[in-house]
Structure 1
Amino acid sequence: MNSGYGNYGASHTKKSLLGWLYGGGSAKEDIQDNLSTLRQRSRDLYMGVPLATGAIKTCRTNVVGGGLKLKSQVDYEILGITEEEVRKLENKIEREFALWADSTACDIERLDNFYELQQLAFLNWLMSGDVIVTLPVTKRINMPYDLRIKLIEADRLSNPAGNTDPKIIGGVEVNEAGEVVAYHISTHHPLSFESIETKWARVEAYGEKTGRRNVLHIMNRERIGQRRGVPFLAPVIEALKQLGRYTDAELVAAVVSGMFTVFIEKENASNDSAFGEVIPQGLQVDSGEDNTFELAPGAIIDLGEGETANALNPGRPNSAFDGFVIAICRQIGAALEIPYELLVKNFNASYSASRGALLEAWKMFRMYRTWLANDFCQPIFEEWLAEAVAKGRISAPGFFADPIIRKAYCGAEWNGPAQGLLNPVQEVTAAEKRVQNGFSTRDREAMEMAGSDFYRNIQQLKQEEKLMKEVRDIGETENSK
């Protein structure tokens, strides 16, 4: 007898569930074995379906924007230094980091700076499910730092040819305890058409002597035991593809419906050219196809003896098109955690509804921003800071002696683009009250609302006030005369 879930979702007797084709396996069978198809289809959607492109770029722009900026947060209590000293140290760290991060020298390919690499890494994670980052060391002229960032596309992390070791899954090697110990990266992209012999390099996850992270694997797991990431669009690939096909069909039908064509039927055959012919052979899309005929706006086409033109009205534009597309977009947005209004950039609802949609979206954006900062920005910053201290450009006593002291120096916040204000007066007032009641700080509010730095703002205001005072003093002197 059925009981509990057996009466509902696990029932094998209900007619509504008898036709349900289901099946599942471990993370390897459900995810890893299907990743190649998921990646290629996700990239194809990005390149050809506007809604898919918009979803990915919306997420990229709001999470990363111009790049997550470093805000050094040294723990001065552990280090036993004053607030004034820690502020000077934080300024020094930020200036030195900007020297490296603002330059394309940080990129092994020397094409992007650190913030542009963030965009590229996050965009590739959205399309492919994961990104591989290595941290090689090379010397470059006029750059005191040797640390470099190398991004590797997900396809290159794969099992070596002929691999039979069950501990290597999707190019990720684990030990008996399940700990990731190495990555197998191919020298040649598996989808490239170049005829180059493919070899694999085994890169240890951590340095044997130093414990340094050799590889950063940027991914977001959804299953226990999962070793590779899933593309962002994976749950909605079918819906997006079908919606793209439907949109294309409606567009073609609307174009055909908009072409007014006249056919002239004659009693006798004629060898003359069609009367009023307006589509020259060279301008026809399928000019080489004998069985293809094209329409054109306002065309007048001659018919031979015995031929009759039958009118066909596609009935487009379809009045139900917009409502149907909106319904599907709402489902896609729910799956991707991007509200419909933001997904299609259409804010026709009330202020409260629009604000609610943005707040829900920003919960997701902040989550991904924190994840990207923890998995990409912070580890790279810590590697850079270790080099800066080792080279004596930043003074950090005890940095290599005690892990807790090293962590104190490595404290940082990574701030991205501000959310934006729907009602500036109301939201600024709320920010003031948060600061007054100790719920937030001026520094955090400046970053959240305008993407600016509070301390730099204060310095700039100080200079502006000084200039304004000089102008007022000059004005008062002239008036007194």
Structure 2
Amino acid sequence: MIDKVVEVVSPERALRREAARRTLRVLNSGYGNHGASRTKKSLIGWNHKGGSPDDDITDNLEVLRQRSRDLYMGGPLATGALKTLRTNVVGYGLRVKPQIDADFLGMSDEEADEWERHVEREFQLWAEDCDAGRMLDFYEMQALVFLSMLMSGDVFCTMPMIERPGNPYALKIAVIEADRVCNPPGVTSPNIRGGIEVDQFGAPIAYYIAQKHPLDSKSMQNKWARVPVFGERTGRRNVLHLMEFERPGQRRGVPILAPVIESLKQLTRYSEAELMAAVVSGMFTVFITSKTPETPLGEAVPLEQQVDVTDENSYELGNGAIIALGEGEDVKEVNPARPNTAFDSFVMSMTRQIGAALEIPYEVLVKHFTASYSASRAALLEAWKMFRMRRSWLISKFCKPIYNEFLYEAVARGRINAPGFFDDPIIRAAYSNAEWYGPSQGQIDPLKEVNAAKIRVQEGFSTRAREATELTGSDFEMIVRQRTKEEKMMREGGLLTNASENQEVLGVPGVENEE
């Protein structure tokens, strides 16, 4: 009301009041003076608009996935990053070591050891033929699932029951690529986005899985199946959704290369351009100037020697060929000045930034260890923090749930004796407890690493079982059993003649030979 009165009486004063009001709106305070400033010239052009997790992630996944896969197929650095993660996190496969709660279950140590060895044998039998597609074993599926999750952002696994002759177990694993979980045509419900239906709390209750891959150029028609997350009668999980969360309320995963897609693509283009320039510089390259462009440039290379016979406008020079010039034509030499001396340092700088975003130190990413022992070891240790974290994630989201499903069927079929398994969840948890072991950390100086492990065991900071796993990826109990057998064979063969030699071989101070 006041503004309207002032505007009638004094338009100039009304204009000044409006200008002052606009100025107040843009005055900054706190973070508004820094990262949230709307007046700094360095930040005015920043396109910072964001949205919900579905707006920012789910709606952009189609482009992110395809660009990520394209980089994997054609970008050496991207391929190396993903394969480095796969090899160090999964390697030859994560192996199970049952660790049941024997005290709670009322079992002696000998009974628990025998039960655990029996379960290992049964699980190995199941693991050899667990793929619904009959192409991979369980350990190869770990590598596929992990690599697909990195490349596409997430991956899905169903657990159908398929009876096969000669196989006592029906549980199988079917790996589903991320693209196949999507909204069917015509579905507009706000609770269904990215092929995932959620309840009022945001918990997934069903997945919409396409029968064929949506990007398959040969498929004409497609059908979708609505698969509940949990079974209605048993409450057991039907679908495993493997993804890493970065925001609350997130439904779909983000490819690990997403933050560095532009950097990787530009670096790949730059490398290809430098490679082509280096190839050209290795040839005697000339420009031919002509006053009569319609006239062919000298004599043609024989048809059988031409590289591009389909393009009539291309002209080729053979190795050591001398081609006569036409009338009015001249030759000018070209020197592309390659290789570029700044190429390596620039690529190294960009690789460090990309490695930082992927949590892979530069030395590990490019397999280039030229620094000191301490620096190289620090890079390996930093990388293995991330490798162990991702391995723990894979065990929690993929290995353990499937191992629990295996125990369900094995106990139900009577192949494994577990009294009370179906009666009480805490008893089931006591039987299901297990450790998972994978490839050990690389060693720069094995002697120093072994001595450090020895001191940790002697001082009580670690155990022989843990150190055996960390150094060699082996099971300490299996090592002891094998070494006992070997020592017996050596004594019987006369290779060990006294207690001191036996003590030296075993490496256990203060232990006397019983003989």
1:253 and 2:267 equivalent?
Answer: no
Counterpart CA distance in 2 for 1:310 and 1:367 is 60
* Residue in structure 1 matching 2:87, options 61, 70, 76: 61
Counterpart CA distance in 2 for 1:262 and 1:178 is 66
Q: 2:126: which partner in 1?
A: 100
Aligned residues: 471
1:177 and 2:201 equivalent?
Answer: yes
Counterpart CA distance in 2 for 1:303 and 1:293 is 13
* Residue in structure 2 matching 1:208, options 232, 237, 240: 232
Q: 1:116: which partner in 2?
A: 140
Asked whether the equivalents of residues 263 and 301 of structure 1 are also in contact (C-alpha less than 8 Å), the reply is: no
SS in 1 for 2:331: coil
Deviates more, 1:298-307 or 1:117-126: 298-307
Amino acid across the alignment from 1:117 = M
Counterpart CA distance in 2 for 1:366 and 1:16 is 40
* Residue in structure 1 matching 2:62, options 6, 28, 36: 36
Seen in structure 2, the aligned counterparts of structure 1 residues 21 and 265 have a Cα distance that, compared at 3 Å, is: closer
1:450 and 2:476 equivalent?
Answer: no
Seen in structure 2, the aligned counterparts of structure 1 residues 196 and 265 have a Cα distance that, compared at 3 Å, is: closer
Asked whether the equivalents of residues 184 and 224 of structure 2 are also in contact (C-alpha less than 8 Å), the reply is: yes
1:131 and 2:147 equivalent?
Answer: no
1:72 and 2:94 equivalent?
Answer: no
Q: CA deviation at 1:438?
A: 3.0
Asked whether the equivalents of residues 253 and 314 of structure 1 are also in contact (C-alpha less than 8 Å), the reply is: yes
Seen in structure 2, the aligned counterparts of structure 1 residues 391 and 25 have a Cα distance that, compared at 3 Å, is: same
Counterpart CA distance in 2 for 1:191 and 1:91 is 45
1:219 and 2:236 equivalent?
Answer: no
SS in 2 for 1:309: strand
* Residue in structure 2 matching 1:374, options 377, 386, 396: 396
Give CA deviations for 1:78-107 in whole Å, capped at 9, x if unaligned.
212111211111111111101111x1x210
Q: CA deviation at 1:313?
A: 1.3
Q: Which runs of 5+ in 2 are unaligned?
A: 1-26, 499-515
Asked whether the equivalents of residues 73 and 79 of structure 2 are also in contact (C-alpha less than 8 Å), the reply is: yes
1:470 and 2:485 equivalent?
Answer: no
Matches within 5 A, 1:360-399: 360-399=382-421
Counterpart CA distance in 1 for 2:336 and 2:285 is 14
Q: 2:40: which partner in 1?
A: 14
Amino acid across the alignment from 1:51 = L
Asked whether the equivalents of residues 259 and 295 of structure 1 are also in contact (C-alpha less than 8 Å), the reply is: no
Counterpart CA distance in 2 for 1:186 and 1:254 is 47
Amino acid across the alignment from 2:30 = G
* Residue in structure 2 matching 1:407, options 407, 429, 445: 429
Asked whether the equivalents of residues 440 and 471 of structure 2 are also in contact (C-alpha less than 8 Å), the reply is: yes
* Residue in structure 2 matching 1:86, options 112, 118, 133: 112
Q: CA deviation at 1:421?
A: 1.3
Asked whether the equivalents of residues 258 and 297 of structure 1 are also in contact (C-alpha less than 8 Å), the reply is: no
Seen in structure 2, the aligned counterparts of structure 1 residues 365 and 299 have a Cα distance that, compared at 3 Å, is: farther
Amino acid across the alignment from 2:200 = E
Q: Which runs of 5+ in 1 are unaligned?
A: 477-481
Larger Rg, first or second structure (1 or 2): 2
TM-score by length of 1: 0.94
Q: CA deviation at 1:453?
A: 0.9
Moved over 4 A (4+): 261-267, 271-275, 473-476
1:459 and 2:472 equivalent?
Answer: no
Q: 1:337: which partner in 2?
A: 359
Amino acid across the alignment from 1:245 = R
Asked whether the equivalents of residues 265 and 304 of structure 1 are also in contact (C-alpha less than 8 Å), the reply is: no
SS in 1 for 2:207: strand
* Residue in structure 2 matching 1:149, options 173, 189, 198: 173
Q: CA deviation at 1:328?
A: 0.4
Amino acid across the alignment from 1:59 = L
Matches within 5 A, 1:257-336: 257-260=281-284, 279-295=301-317, 297-336=319-358
Give CA deviations for 1:387-439 in whole Å, capped at 9, x if unaligned.
11111111111110010110011111111111121121221122122223333
Seen in structure 2, the aligned counterparts of structure 1 residues 387 and 6 have a Cα distance that, compared at 3 Å, is: same
The percentage of counterpart residues that share the same residue type is 61
Asked whether the equivalents of residues 172 and 182 of structure 1 are also in contact (C-alpha less than 8 Å), the reply is: yes
SS in 2 for 1:394: coil
Counterpart CA distance in 2 for 1:473 and 1:307 is 87
Asked whether the equivalents of residues 286 and 332 of structure 2 are also in contact (C-alpha less than 8 Å), the reply is: no
Q: 2:78: which partner in 1?
A: 52
SS in 2 for 1:352: helix
SS in 2 for 1:133: strand
Q: CA deviation at 1:147?
A: 0.3
Counterpart CA distance in 1 for 2:185 and 2:297 is 63
1:430 and 2:456 equivalent?
Answer: no
Asked whether the equivalents of residues 128 and 230 of structure 1 are also in contact (C-alpha less than 8 Å), the reply is: yes
Counterpart CA distance in 1 for 2:305 and 2:491 is 71
Asked whether the equivalents of residues 298 and 326 of structure 2 are also in contact (C-alpha less than 8 Å), the reply is: no
Seen in structure 2, the aligned counterparts of structure 1 residues 424 and 375 have a Cα distance that, compared at 3 Å, is: same
Q: CA deviation at 1:139?
A: 0.7
Counterpart CA distance in 2 for 1:224 and 1:371 is 18
Seen in structure 2, the aligned counterparts of structure 1 residues 194 and 434 have a Cα distance that, compared at 3 Å, is: same
Asked whether the equivalents of residues 107 and 149 of structure 1 are also in contact (C-alpha less than 8 Å), the reply is: yes
Counterpart CA distance in 1 for 2:121 and 2:458 is 31
Counterpart CA distance in 2 for 1:234 and 1:263 is 42
Seen in structure 2, the aligned counterparts of structure 1 residues 280 and 444 have a Cα distance that, compared at 3 Å, is: farther
Asked whether the equivalents of residues 262 and 300 of structure 1 are also in contact (C-alpha less than 8 Å), the reply is: no
Q: Which has the higher contact order (CA 8 A, sep 6+)?
A: 1
Q: CA deviation at 1:115?
A: 0.3
Amino acid across the alignment from 2:383 = A
Counterpart CA distance in 2 for 1:242 and 1:391 is 56
Amino acid across the alignment from 2:239 = V
Seen in structure 2, the aligned counterparts of structure 1 residues 34 and 141 have a Cα distance that, compared at 3 Å, is: same
Counterpart CA distance in 2 for 1:239 and 1:36 is 19
Q: CA deviation at 1:266?
A: 12
Q: CA deviation at 1:382?
A: 0.3
TM-score by length of 2: 0.88
Q: CA deviation at 1:296?
A: 5.2
1:236 and 2:263 equivalent?
Answer: no
Q: 2:221: which partner in 1?
A: 197
Deviates more, 1:295-304 or 1:142-151: 295-304
SS in 2 for 1:448: helix
Q: CA deviation at 1:475?
A: 8.1
SS in 2 for 1:66: coil
SS in 2 for 1:56: helix
Q: CA deviation at 1:262?
A: 7.3
Amino acid across the alignment from 1:316 = R
Seen in structure 2, the aligned counterparts of structure 1 residues 474 and 240 have a Cα distance that, compared at 3 Å, is: closer
Asked whether the equivalents of residues 442 and 454 of structure 1 are also in contact (C-alpha less than 8 Å), the reply is: yes
